Amino acid sequence: MSLPAPTPDALDASHALQRLIAAEIAEHGGAIPFARFMELALYAPGLGYYSGGSAKLGKDGDFTTAPEMSPLFGATLAHVAAAIIAQSAPHILEFGAGTGKLAFDILTEAQASGIAVESYSIVELSGELRARQQALLASFPQVQWLDALPASFTGVVFGNEVLDAMPVQLVKKTAQGWRELYVTVADGEFAYVEREPGEALAAQIAAQIPDQEYLADGYTTEVHGAGCGFMATLGQMLSRGNNGAAILLDYGFPAHEYYLGQRDAGTLMCHYRHHAHAEPFYLPGLQDITAHVDFTAMAIAAQDAGADVLGYMSQAAFLISAGIGDLLTRTDPADVKAYLPQANAVQKLLSPAEMGELFKVLIIGKNVDLPAQIAAADRTHKL
């Protein structure tokens, strides 16, 4: 692969993480599940991609998210939050807040529009990102940081590109049945080895992957155990709070589109310095590793935990119905220098060729109703 060379310090950090992963592999009889490899690559203390010190987001990082593109994204979510807050409580919780830009834009719009937000809690696993958030959000005293989701919550929860960064199990269909891919060390390099799945994973494969009999031997894909576990916890939290909603924005598909026969290598993708590739063993700790989200599995996990599935739609349908076009018109089109960058950013958020269709929005909750215009865009039947 022709990718930018890392700095010597970054390369040293990656080598340290590789040694840590290799040591764990040796401790566990020569192989660990890919999900554990992915967890270490992303979250190993001080060395993982999200727990190390390298820039992740923006022009100097590895990828760009919607809040980094335009403040109108967060401003739109602020008005959706207002509609939920009116039915529940003036509390917002964000999981995985990145640079803090989404929180900043939501709180700025709330302040300007008279939307009361008494508390804005952030659950952030990355120490480096938490420090950036604290610097950016210093002027908002209602912001607080948590180490884990609370047992119950009333209000609005946001998660932008959270589910795609959760570790996934890799599974492969063979003539002998499904096998889980483990990671071993062969000739000094990480490599895959197949293992028979445990009872819990076998049950999840059976439940999550439809029409398995039509998939060819060699078909490789992801099963989202950590994501389903997170959604179950989120569903329980909202069910106990008994009055609120969670809005999750991410890229992915419903199950019947996710597990298509032609998608026989899965959706696993890595991001390094704005280059995308499919090699998860490349420079662990220096690149993001993600998988597309199976929104059917996420919705079922939340529902089984006591939450209601309130809505599912494309990001474009959600943002348009939530009023992003109206917010754009607050900038005078005659002021080309101010208007054009905002219009271009909104176009990227909405365009089917950019983020508009690949990104979806799943909304779960308890005892709240979506605004009528957003409810009208619901496509839950596609799950």
User: Quick check: is 135 in a domain?
Assistant: yes
Instruction: Give every residue of the chain whose pLDDT is below 70, as ranges.
Output: 1, 53-63
Q: pLDDT per residue over 86-102, tens digit each?
A: 999 999 999 999 899 99
User: Quick check: is 137 in a domain?
Assistant: yes
User: Quick check: is 282 in a domain?
Assistant: no
User: Quick check: is 360 in a domain?
Assistant: yes
Question: In this structure, are residues 62 and 271 in contact, taking their beta carbons and an 8 Å threshold?
Answer: yes
Q: pLDDT per residue over 173-213, tens digit each?
A: 999 999 999 999 999 999 999 999 999 999 999 999 999 99
The reported pLDDT for the residue numbered 125 is 82
Note down the domain range covering 106.
66-165+226-258+291-382
The reported pLDDT for the residue numbered 57 is 45
- Give the integer Cα–Cα distance in Å for 11 and 54: 12
The reported pLDDT for the residue numbered 63 is 61
Among 243, 239, 171, CA closest to 207: 171
When divided into structural domains, the chain yields a total of 1
Q: pLDDT per residue over 25-55, tens digit each?
A: 999 999 999 999 999 999 999 899 988 765 4
User: Quick check: is 108 in a domain?
Assistant: yes
User: Quick check: is 175 in a domain?
Assistant: no
pTM for the model stands at 0.95
User: Quick check: is 28 in a domain?
Assistant: no
Pairing of strands 119-123, 143-146: parallel
User: Quick check: is 194 in a domain?
Assistant: no
Supply the CATH number for residue 76's domain: 3.40.50.12710
The reported pLDDT for the residue numbered 58 is 45
Question: In this structure, are residues 253 and 295 in contact, taking their beta carbons and an 8 Å threshold?
Answer: yes
The reported pLDDT for the residue numbered 89 is 98
Burial 5-31 (b: 16+ CB within 10 A, else e): ebeeebeebbebbbebbeeebeeeeeb
The reported pLDDT for the residue numbered 50 is 87
